[in-house]
Amino acid sequence: MSIALMTAAWKTSLPQTPKMVLLALCDNANDEGECYPSVQTLAAKCSVSDRAVQMQLTKLEEMGFVVRDIRAGRSTVYRIAKPSEWPQTPERSSPPKDVHPRTTFTTGVKDVHPTPEPRSPHPRTSFTHNHHLTVTEPSGNQKARSPKGTRLPADWKPSESQVAFFKAVQPGADLTPVADRFRDYWIAVPGAKGLKLDWDATWRNWVRPKEEKRANPASNPGRQSAAERNAATIAALTGRDRGPPPDVFGGFAERVD
């Protein structure tokens, strides 16, 4: 590698591809400027194709940077000319331009009519907002929300209608322990289970006698216990709910007698 040749190659104003090929040759050359790399090696260093390297070598030879010694059956020898003999590129040989600073400038300001126009009415400085005319339409994506229940107040006491219903379904019973048990139970229920939409209906279901709740278990099987449901199922399968079997042997005995 010749440092002097590479330094001179860097200072040239050649285009990118021929400059890279010249640098690759200088990287392989000795101090006398001789080297013999293959086209594939130069293409790999310059990141170009073999065809591009061959084209640029021809151009460098035509410009006087390189002389090729093509040997049959052997590698080509490249002799790089001395930097003092290199031709000057157009950028280096072009004369400097005589540049003078500008003394006049074109302003970008355009004639703009005043706002508002003289014939237009005076602009208002205050505005009246017609909020009562604004109509907000419900979004089609919004779903109707179901009403939420409420919790039983901590200081709940049965109302007159609730007391009257209690006396009607449980005449002669003591209201105070039933109301206390109702209040303590529902206040202690956590979360959503303690929310009710109608506390009057909840109170009515609470104070109804158990006999009234179980008066018709077939219509409300959810109130039956597991044992009662099992007994009803066995009775239906075995036919015990159809009444006693006919007395066949009794009739036969009467005929024998």
Using DSSP bridges, classify how beta strands 66-69 and 77-80 pair: parallel, antiparallel or unpaired.
Answer: antiparallel
Task: Give CA–CA dist 202/218, Å, rounded.
Answer: 23
Two structure tokens written together for 89: 């590129």
The helix (run of H) or strand (run of E) holding residue 59 is helix 50-63
Domains of the chain (ranges; CATH) run: 3-91 (1.10.10.10), 160-208 (no CATH)
Residues 6+ apart with CB under 8 A from 74: none
pLDDT at 155: 92
pLDDT at 210: 73
C-alpha neighbours within 13 Å on the C-beta side of residue 6:
12
Q: How many CB atoms lie within 10 A of CB 166?
A: 21
Q: Identify the residue whose tokens are 């939409």.
A: 197
Residues 10, 12, 15, 19, CA torsion sign: negative
pLDDT at 124: 61
Per-residue pLDDT of the chain (257 residues; tens, 9 = 90+): 778 888 888 888 889 898 899 888 888 888 888 888 888 998 998 999 999 988 988 988 898 888 888 887 788 888 888 888 888 765 544 555 666 677 776 665 566 555 666 666 665 655 565 656 666 666 555 566 667 889 999 899 999 999 999 999 888 889 999 999 999 999 998 888 889 989 999 999 998 987 665 554 544 444 556 777 777 777 777 765 555 555 555 555 455 55
